Amino acid sequence: MRHTQRGITFIGALILVAFIGLFVYAGIRLVPVYLEYMNIAKAMDTVKADMTTVDSPQSIRVALDKRFFINAVTVISAKDLEITRDGAAWVVRANYDADAPFVANVSFSVHFDKTVVLGNSGGA
């Protein structure tokens, strides 16, 4: 009768668990960065839906600053947003990088870019 080896060795299982654990830990470190981005995107979309008439960039910044405070957004402030005029519409852009520490001096750098158009984008 021939005997064949089946399954995985203890060392192989240990290496596999360590490798999977590394990816799980990376995900744990990146989830807060993406949750904060989702809060920023939600605040920008809410301001877009709420503000039917926009007087100035300052009114946009005040509205976004209030929502950032409520959602505890710390990576970016309303002062960091780019607000430009495009015809009759206002274009609000959040373009930033967020860092998530990983292990020792290794970290992840994630780039986010969210743009919303407030007002009538069809022109005058």
How do residues 28-83 score in pLDDT, each as one tens digit? Answer: 999 999 999 999 999 999 999 998 788 889 999 999 999 999 999 999 999 999 99
Q: How far apart are CA 46 and CA 73, in angstroms?
A: 15
Under 8 Å between Cβ of 99 and 26? no
Where are the strands (E) in the chain, listed by range?
82-86, 89-103, 106-118
Q: Nearest to residue 64, comparing CAs of 42, 86, 85?
A: 42
pTM of the predicted model, to two decimals? 0.82
**How much is the pLDDT for 122?**
52
User: What does pLDDT average to over the chain?
Assistant: 91
Question: CB neighbours of 8 closer than 8 A, spacing ≥ 6?
Answer: 16
Name the residue with higher pLDDT: 88 or 19. 19
Per-domain residue ranges of the chain:
10-118
pLDDT at 4 over 90: no
Give the whole-number percent of the chain exceeding pLDDT 90. Answer: 79
φ, ψ of residue 30 to 5 degrees: the values are -90, -20
